[in-house]
Structure 1
Amino acid sequence: MGTTQSIRTAVIGAGPRGTSVLERLLANWAPAGSDQTLHIDVIDPYPAGPGHVWQPGQSRLYLMNTQSFYPTIVPQDKELARPVAGYTFDQWREIQRRHPDAALTAEERDELARLSAADFPSRALYGRYLRSTLEQLLSRLPAGVTVDFHPAAATSVRPTTAPAIPGGAGVAGDLPTAGSGAIASGAGAGAGTGVKAGFDVGLDDGTQLTVDSVVLALGHLEARLSAEQHKLQAAAAELGLIYLPPAAPADVDWTRIPAGKPVLVRGMGLNFFDVMGQLTEGRGGRFVAGDDGGLSYLPSGREPLILAASRRGTPYRTKATLSGYYPAAVSLRYLTERAIAKFAEIGIRPSFDHDLWPLLHRDAVWAYYSTLARSQPEAIVTGPEEFLQALDDAMHPHAHSTVRWEDTADPVLDVHVRPGFRLDLLGLAAPLAGRSFGSRDELDAAVAAYLVDDARRSALGEDDPVKMAIGALHHGRAVLKTAVADRGITDESWVAGLRGWFESFVEGLASGPPALRAEQLAALVRAGVVRFVGPDPKFTVDRAAGMFTAASPWVGSGPGDGTQGSAVAGEVLAAACMIEALAPSNRVAVNASPLLAQLLAEGWVRPRLMMTVEGAPVETSGLDVALHPYRPLAANGSVTEGLYVLGLQLSSTQWGTAIAAESRQKSGPVYRSGQRTLHDADEIARHILGR
């Protein structure tokens, strides 16, 4: 510790990331004497632990995108300070199944009784885990530590030249206050440096806190609407229509959507399935398994007609059925952490398209064809072993170069693989590309067939070549997160490659929902509850008719022969209601956060700018920060010491910031990026404590 007698810090955001900072502060607290104290102010209008997104009272139809064995807010890395309390979610799940907490609701007990390690829990149950973990932490506070919870929103953070002063403890929220909050005056972040500038933190309830340091663990924030969304919202107000902008699904009043009427839903990513669930099962409909194992849907009569639209025209692909987070049958051969280290060893700052993607592309190709040779040997003209040896010889010599390996691999595939079994990797993310549809019925049938096939492949798990190619991409994401972090690739390739095309490509393949969702959606299509707009939809407002409209250039009312451009485009769908099934934009410059607006306006933080290949500056989504621990750069480029950033607002320094911390799997690779958020929280905590 240093010579500081007391430390006072504020954590703004009490969801998983803010809770991780609190947990790491407690784990790293090691006072040298009884007169040393640590006071933590936790600020969030939502209940601490679950925060905004993971509220335990939300609908249990909202599922997590990861299985029970995956998430944690408690680190398992033995290099970090040992936690004072807490478990991974899966450990907590097992404990609650055997010895349920008396505070659990009947719904929570029922879900826990049915939930296995490989199942997808509800977000509500994960919120209960977060709250339980926080309660455990508060029950085991180390000596000298006090915590106050402020159920309010932070509206301003301003550095002050005065040292931290006593007082300012807010009123505790729905969690018990641990300690009085009255502490002695002392130094700020980086203890032991003597009197140092602190921060004044203003809350929307009028409270003013003076602290030594501030952690911005803001999580998902509401965002300002785009120009197009503003026009749609204004038109809705003028014409008496219903327009639901991007929002957290738990915040939406779904009763506003009328039964029996069409509703346009834009976006078929993860939020789409939340919308789908609320407007079907949430209204009393039921999915029933038939004797053949297929699903059918029994409507309640209170559903709207869902008209679903997205750029691809199809939803995200569903996750394969696996025993672990990564497929055990797939291991990376080219995009390895060792291969990434070689770039640094020879002084190369890699670009994504030129250096990294060729390696991962090869891994996906090998995963596909090695699985094909194992599970479908009839697809190989020659012997599977002979084919794989020839393919390995063609691809391996260029493992760490950008030589066009396709020039040597393609002739091998021509000789050994039967027509119809070749992999079109980029085409997996756009299953309707190059097709047009003469009628809405023809489109609906094509999308339903895609959904059924995708669910079938997911059920095959590690025996399906397509899902294992995607599995290689999933492995590769973990390596890429380490490779590209902290300016690990060129700005040009971050803008044009990683974020320009690869992010949406890989999310559509590897970030999808459980396979059950595809089966349910196909059943809803068969029941006439869901129809599709088609690829590349255009949304407008027909003021004469007083309706929202949507149309795809590839879906028409005339005959088509299945090739692009052959249909007579023009069938327009209309509805008096439109839902944006999208998450609010994660861009600091458009977040509707009074706190971020103040920090940006006064120059204490700034968005990060990157240069394109043409030399033009581009404002990126996240804050500009100094590295390790992450501290924002002010408008003049100086470091705002004592102010720290964790999580989503680091999206221009880290990739994949929306992914929560990964618990250590019982088997398989352990990637450095798996518990990155927890390591970041640990760095911040140690810096605040001067350790």
Structure 2
Amino acid sequence: MERLLARHAATAESTRDARNAAAPPRPLHIHLVDPFPPGAGHVWRTGQSRLYLMNTQSFFPTLIPDQGVAAAPLAGCSFNDWRGAMRAEPDATLSGADRTELATLAATGFPSRALYGRYLSWCFARLLEKLPRGAQVTVHADEAKRVARDHERGGFAVELLGGESLRADSVVLALGHVESRLSPAQRELRDDARAHGLAYLPPAVPNDVDWTQLPAGDTVLVRGMGLNFFDVLGQLTEGRGGRFEPTGRGPGDALAYLASGREPVIVGASRRGTPYRAKAELDSYYPAGVELRFLCEDAVTRIHDMGATAGFDHDIWPLLHRDALWAYYTTLARTSPGAVSPGFLPGLDALLHAGLDGEARDWAEKLKVLEARHVEAGRALDLPALARPLSRQPLRPGGKHRFASQAELDDAVLAYLSDDAAGSARGEDDPVKMAIGALNAGRAVIKSLVADHGITQESWLGELRGWFEGFVEGLASGPPALRVEQLAALVRAGVVHFAGPDPVFRIQGGLFTASSPWVADQPWHARHLVEALAPANRIQGTASRLLNNLQADGLVRPRVMLASDGGPVVTSGLDVSAPPYRPLDGVGRPVEGLYVLGLQLSSVQWGTAIAAQANAEYRSGYRTVLDADAIAADILA
């Protein structure tokens, strides 16, 4: 909507006949169809709990472009600019909770999702106030159930769930998160749970869940320890009257939890056995002291020149791995000079520049030798161990388990949480966080490579999404450091426990059980299981009436890629043309006048963004704005 209005205004201004300035401009009528209020929508509803935080700091998000587009915005600003303006002169639409949060929210703070929703609503209202001549916006508080070609008049007919039908020349599918059907394994677990009178909570937007159905004192198994895990924790602890108080003991042990007595016993479980690592406390999204020297613009140009023949493991990861090594060791040498010998960095620099032509097969072995000679024992960078921190735990006698008891596992995870929180507090002085910062910056470069068709299909499936995606998300997509401090306090208070890596969930003896091959102790038993996961973003398996009807009518189809063995793989997103993204119909032809924006582009873009980054350093940081701008330009052409 913002890009359509901005381009409409710019076009009207440039084509206006000075001799007939009063001539009416070309009309533009935008219909917004959404069952939730426009602006905040579903995920960012303004009435939700303040315990649901964004995963980016105030300085990060913007709805309004600040670069990369020719048509200047008509209204609005970045979230951080809005935050400052609302603190200085609060808008009448702000609630008391909004004003209280704004009073202490800093540029580096993590806003609540409710406050971000207020920002989105404010931007929407400002755009309506600045409608250019000839533009009209109509909001339909309804759900679109079908988009069909209008063969008689051209364009499309958009059928709404409430019975209304809209005629449109163009339609943009900007659907965001939509409901999905459960996987076969999840359906089986749900049906077995019902048969035994157990409570199974499937993947959902956290604000949609009634958390009161989980009784105080009962054991609750929570599967998944990513971002939704921390949402669950907040509702079952602070949301029930518990309080965190400062201990004065410093990072890693900074908080104590005072229970309300209404908490359940929470057992977290995930494949790695630990939550995502916390974000470093920084003044910028990417560490200021980290520079990508290998996965840089020159390297990206070379990869682009290869066409769609680049492989992630062969062509991209070796460069990013070098950047992570350099970020780690330069930080280590600066902050702990005694941990490396004086000649280490020059030798490392030379080695990192060697083998880039693919001829140095023993490069990894040379790195190990160099580290063994010059790096203090236990201080060498071990990236796989960062992603699986419990793997460093030695096997117990007999070689079957790493932990003799659940209590021993809890102690190990608590030590990991405390160390991680302390590392976040050190910010740019923490070598591990700077290595992760390099991986995060490299991820921004990779996003552009993927969107520009710079990687083979088999590498996308088997390498980028096969191992790297989960690896980097667990390291670089974690929660605010505050959340990890709070989790550590909950573990110390006995409110939260852990099941161990690679957990197995069953129903036995009329109860859910969760056991881990890493732990010798008895499994956990519970009457409640929460899937702390977002609903799957897959075209096949979606519960969206609209997407299912579009597929049934042959207007869209999921993208199919070829794996390394030549077999077809149905991917998560729609099959689309080059930008501006039009869906391909059942026979593979772009559907003129129909466009796709956002999460349903997950088969041609990696890490589809919800919002743009203000003052983005990398092009992928404002890719969504560029996509919207290209669609608007095509519609108005």
When normalised by structure 2's length, the TM-score is 0.95
- Residues 72/547 of structure 1: CA separation in 2 closer, same or farther (3 Å cut): same
Residues 1:675 and 2:625 are matched in the alignment: no
Secondary structure, in 3 states, of the residue corresponding to 1:296? Answer: strand
The one of 299, 321, 333 equivalent to 1:373 is 333
**For residues 484 and 208 of structure 1, what CA distance do their matches in structure 2 show?**
38
Equivalence for 2:244: 287
The one of 439, 442, 448 equivalent to 2:405 is 439
Matches within 5 A, 1:304-315: 304-315=264-275
**For residues 485 and 8 of structure 2, what CA distance do their matches in structure 1 show?**
45
Q: CA deviation at 1:611?
A: 0.4
Matches within 5 A, 1:108-187: 108-163=98-153
The one of 195, 201, 219 equivalent to 1:238 is 195
Equivalence for 1:214: 171
- Contact preservation (8 Å) 1:285, 1:300: yes
**For residues 505 and 659 of structure 1, what CA distance do their matches in structure 2 show?**
21
Q: CA deviation at 1:24?
A: 4.9
Q: CA deviation at 1:25?
A: 5.2
**For residues 29 and 253 of structure 1, what CA distance do their matches in structure 2 show?**
48
Equivalence for 2:84: 94
Residues 1:30 and 2:12 are matched in the alignment: yes
- Contact preservation (8 Å) 1:28, 1:686: no
The one of 564, 574, 581 equivalent to 1:613 is 564
Q: CA deviation at 1:434?
A: 5.5
Q: CA deviation at 1:265?
A: 0.5
Residues 1:585 and 2:532 are matched in the alignment: no
**For residues 386 and 234 of structure 2, what CA distance do their matches in structure 1 show?**
26
- Contact preservation (8 Å) 1:157, 1:595: yes
The residue type paired with residue 82 of structure 1 is A
Equivalence for 2:384: 426
Residues 1:406 and 2:364 are matched in the alignment: yes
The residue type paired with residue 142 of structure 2 is A
Equivalence for 2:601: 650
Secondary structure, in 3 states, of the residue corresponding to 1:243? Answer: strand
Residues 1:58 and 2:48 are matched in the alignment: yes
Residues 1:510 and 2:509 are matched in the alignment: no
The residue type paired with residue 131 of structure 2 is L
- Contact preservation (8 Å) 2:219, 2:527: yes
Equivalence for 1:560: none
Matches within 5 A, 1:187-336: 197-293=154-250, 294-336=254-296
The residue type paired with residue 387 of structure 2 is A
Residues 1:392 and 2:349 are matched in the alignment: yes
The residue type paired with residue 553 of structure 1 is P
The residue type paired with residue 457 of structure 2 is D
- Contact preservation (8 Å) 1:45, 1:153: yes
Q: CA deviation at 1:240?
A: 1.9
- Contact preservation (8 Å) 2:421, 2:484: yes
Equivalence for 2:446: 480
Q: CA deviation at 1:348?
A: 6.6
Higher mean displacement: 597-606 or 409-418: 409-418
**For residues 28 and 589 of structure 1, what CA distance do their matches in structure 2 show?**
40
- Contact preservation (8 Å) 1:20, 1:678: no
- Contact preservation (8 Å) 2:7, 2:71: no
Q: CA deviation at 1:655?
A: 0.5
Q: CA deviation at 1:412?
A: 2.1
- Residues 402/138 of structure 1: CA separation in 2 closer, same or farther (3 Å cut): farther
Secondary structure, in 3 states, of the residue corresponding to 2:612? Answer: coil
- Contact preservation (8 Å) 2:582, 2:594: yes
- Contact preservation (8 Å) 1:355, 1:401: no
The residue type paired with residue 337 of structure 2 is P
Matches within 5 A, 1:450-469: 450-469=416-435
Root-mean-square deviation (CA), in Å?
1.5
Secondary structure, in 3 states, of the residue corresponding to 2:62? Answer: coil
The residue type paired with residue 356 of structure 1 is I
Q: CA deviation at 1:399?
A: 4.1
After superposition, give the CA deviation of every residue in 1:392-442 in whole Å (9 maximum; x if it has no partner). 111113446474432433332222111111110121011112641000000
Residues 1:550 and 2:514 are matched in the alignment: yes
Q: CA deviation at 1:344?
A: 2.9
**For residues 2 and 172 of structure 2, what CA distance do their matches in structure 1 show?**
11
The residue type paired with residue 340 of structure 1 is V
Q: CA deviation at 1:541?
A: 1.1
Q: CA deviation at 1:77?
A: 0.9
- Contact preservation (8 Å) 1:358, 1:402: no
The residue type paired with residue 581 of structure 1 is A
**For residues 329 and 257 of structure 1, what CA distance do their matches in structure 2 show?**
45
**For residues 10 and 499 of structure 2, what CA distance do their matches in structure 1 show?**
54
The residue type paired with residue 353 of structure 2 is H
Equivalence for 1:534: 500
Equivalence for 1:568: none
The one of 373, 382, 405 equivalent to 1:415 is 373
Identity across the alignment (%): 58
Q: CA deviation at 1:30?
A: 2.3
Matches within 5 A, 1:1-20: 19-20=1-2
After superposition, give the CA deviation of every residue in 1:48-81 in whole Å (9 maximum; x if it has no partner). 0011100010000000000000000100016421
Q: CA deviation at 1:238?
A: 2.0
After superposition, give the CA deviation of every residue in 1:582-620 in whole Å (9 maximum; x if it has no partner). 000011111110000001112111100010111000000
- Residues 400/483 of structure 1: CA separation in 2 closer, same or farther (3 Å cut): farther
Secondary structure, in 3 states, of the residue corresponding to 2:512? Answer: strand
**For residues 306 and 532 of structure 2, what CA distance do their matches in structure 1 show?**
45
- Contact preservation (8 Å) 1:605, 1:632: yes
- Residues 349/154 of structure 1: CA separation in 2 closer, same or farther (3 Å cut): same
What runs of 5+ residues in structure 1 fail to find an aligned partner?
Answer: 1-18, 164-196, 558-570
Secondary structure, in 3 states, of the residue corresponding to 2:12? Answer: coil
Residues 1:519 and 2:470 are matched in the alignment: no
The residue type paired with residue 606 of structure 1 is R
**For residues 559 and 581 of structure 2, what CA distance do their matches in structure 1 show?**
13
- Contact preservation (8 Å) 1:156, 1:594: yes
**For residues 583 and 203 of structure 2, what CA distance do their matches in structure 1 show?**
27
- Contact preservation (8 Å) 1:37, 1:145: yes
After superposition, give the CA deviation of every residue in 1:201-237 in whole Å (9 maximum; x if it has no partner). 0000000011100000000111100111111211232
- Contact preservation (8 Å) 1:308, 1:530: yes
- Contact preservation (8 Å) 1:24, 1:682: no
**For residues 104 and 302 of structure 1, what CA distance do their matches in structure 2 show?**
32
**For residues 532 and 456 of structure 1, what CA distance do their matches in structure 2 show?**
21
Matches within 5 A, 1:592-607: 592-607=543-558
Q: CA deviation at 1:127?
A: 0.2
- Residues 24/273 of structure 1: CA separation in 2 closer, same or farther (3 Å cut): farther
Q: How many residues align?
A: 617
The residue type paired with residue 565 of structure 2 is E
After superposition, give the CA deviation of every residue in 1:547-572 in whole Å (9 maximum; x if it has no partner). 11111111113xxxxxxxxxxxxx11
After superposition, give the CA deviation of every residue in 1:94-131 in whole Å (9 maximum; x if it has no partner). 00010111221111001001000000000000000000
Equivalence for 1:689: 636
